[in-house]
Amino acid sequence: MPLNAEIASWIADMKAVRHRLHTNPEVGTGTVGTVAFVKEQLRSYGVGFEDIGENSLLARIEGRGPGKTVALRGDMDALETQEETGLPYQSAVKGRAHACGHDGHTATLLAVARHLAGHRDFDGAVLLLFQSGEEGYDGALKVIEDGLFEKHDIDFIFGLHNWPGYATDQVVVHFGAAMASEDRFEILVRGKSGHASMPHGCVEPFAAVADIVKSAQSIVGRKVSAHDKAVVSITQVHGGSADNIIPDEVVIHGNVRTCDGAVQDLIEESLGRVAEGVARMYGVEATLTYRRKHPVLVNTMPEPARAAAAAVVGEDNVLTGELPVMGSEDFAFYLRHVPGCFLWVGNGKDSALLHNSKYDFNDEVILVGASVFVELVRQVL
């Protein structure tokens, strides 16, 4: 099956939907207007839906008879950044933009809804999850906590993301880890404040902070196997109020990415030992707070996605040997509950990077992504 002919016949409508979403970006779980617009589209297709999570939406399309249930997910939220594309449909909201392509993911899922509403020749049901808050706002967790897997007997779940650097007729399917975990940490270093001219009467925290920063940066090179992927980044250091005062405390913030749960454990443990050891050496207190924000995204059911993509774009255009990336995705939380796969569809080899002010979603991805999703439904149901 090549690109879906019916979807191709009204793809101009879906591009207009995407441009409408692009012009009106909403951030986090504050996707009130986006949800209202998606509901309006679903009603026009004759597709029922329910609210779930925080400003997320779950549509349901029943097939011709009983069978399994597959969920397809598209995210809806934009970013807090200024768009600099100069496009006629560019963001109308200052400081907010769809610089990751979630407007296109939403349009793609709407194209699937429109097609399946008129072609229910499958057994079982398809759930279409329009999710808010993917960009660090716990959107997936809120959907799960609202009873997604208790209210609905879901057998499989699939998602997609556009990906710059690949042609629009290329699809990437990872067998195993696809995207990294994301952890965030804070180390509070507490000493004793005083006058900068009399450090002997203080317990100065900055020397300890310097050693903690340096030691944290050495964890990957000295503790993590060269065969594993991991990143430890110091992202913020805050402390002090004046040039002539040694402060009581300094706070270090950082970010950790890995592609293996055991490496996550190793890095958290190593950061704790660094903080404890340096604190003892300098006579300060150091407290580590470590938060695991996103787990590693591991595709547990990649073969149907590979087969569906191959049916649409051809075997040669399905890439299965690509390395996982160090970015994270809250789709990983769904894969802890049911089997599934998260695939990438090329956004163009010359596309600006995700989260770049010049980035724009390639409208051709709507047709490719929707065709792959429709073929996936055919294969698993």
**Exposed / middle / buried, residue 347 (Cβ in 10 Å: 0-12, 13-18, 19+):** buried
Distance between CA atoms of 288 and 186, rounded to whole angstroms?
6
Rounded (10°) CA dihedral 321, 327, 331, 332 = 80
Give the rounded distance of the alpha carbon of 13 from its chain centre. Answer: 27
* Integer angstrom CA distances of residue 182 from 102, 187, 298, 330, 368: 20, 17, 13, 10, 29
Question: Cβ atoms within 10 A of the Cβ of 186, count?
Answer: 14
Distance between CA atoms of 170 and 67, rounded to whole angstroms?
31
Selection from 180, 157, 110 nearest residue 304 by Cα: 157
Hey, CA dihedral for 225, 227, 228, 231, is it positive or negative? positive
Catalytic residue among 77, 182, 329, 375: 77
Residue that the structure tokens 């774009």 belong to:
313
| 268 has catalytic annotation | no
Distance between CA atoms of 314 and 308, rounded to whole angstroms?
9
Phi-psi region at 203: left, alpha or beta (left = phi > 0; alpha = psi -120 to 50): beta
Catalytic residue among 103, 134, 138, 360: 134
Selection from 300, 295, 294, 296 nearest residue 341 by Cα: 300
Q: Tell me the two tokens of residue 295.
A: 């787990």
Residues 6 or more apart in contact with residue 163 via CB below 8 angstroms:
172, 344, 345, 346, 347, 354
Selection from 111, 127, 58, 8 nearest residue 381 by Cα: 127
Over its C-alpha atoms, the chain yields an Rg (Å, rounded) of 24
| 134 has catalytic annotation | yes
Residues catalogued as catalytic: 77, 134
